[in-house]
């Protein structure tokens, strides 16, 4: 089962990482000024992760693939790491779909 880990950045903002059962980070949030906003972001990932249309797959200039998960209003709620292949990127999306809905929230901020 996955976990959402809340941490605090050096600039004081809160962020979360969605980690797969093996501990690998599969999705990272933006920075939030307040913890309640960060928790709302987690809720949005849980809700939107099951909707295929919420994933926006991109190819970087270096040819690597990555994706953003967007909320219903089009705002990015999480971004993936870079993947060497499209298949790897698709596997990352499947991992978010599998891990996000029932992931435990751990506050390490």
Are the C-beta atoms of residues 5 and 17 closer than 8 Å to each other? yes
Residue 1 has pLDDT above 90, yes or no: no
Per residue in 68-106, pLDDT (tens digit) is: 999 999 999 999 999 999 999 999 999 999 999 999 999
Neighbours of 20 (CB within 10 A): 18
Kindly report the pTM of this predicted structure.
0.93
Nearest to 69 by CA among 58, 61, 83: 58
| Chain segment 18-71, per-residue pLDDT in tens | 999 899 999 999 999 999 999 999 999 999 999 999 999 999 999 999 999 999
Which domains can be identified in the chain, with CATH numbers?
A: 3-107 (2.30.29.80)
Q: In what order do the strands lie in the sheet with 65-70?
A: 55-59, 65-70, 76-79, 25-28, 14-19, 3-8, 104-107
Question: How is residue 83 annotated by DSSP?
Answer: B
């Amino acid at each position: 089962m996955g976990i959402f880990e809340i941490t605090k950045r050096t600039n004081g903002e809160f962020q979360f990482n969605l980690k797969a059962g093996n501990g690998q980070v599969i999705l990272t949030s933006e920075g939030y000024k307040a913890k309640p906003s960060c928790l709302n972001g987690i809720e949005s990932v849980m809700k939107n992760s099951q909707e295929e249309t919420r994933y926006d797959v991109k190819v970087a200039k270096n040819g690597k693939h990555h994706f953003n998960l967007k909320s219903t209003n089009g705002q990015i709620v999480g971004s993936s790491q870079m993947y060497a292949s499209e298949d790897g990127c698709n596997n990352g999306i499947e991992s978010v779909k599998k891990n996000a809905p029932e992931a435990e929230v751990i506050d390490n901020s």
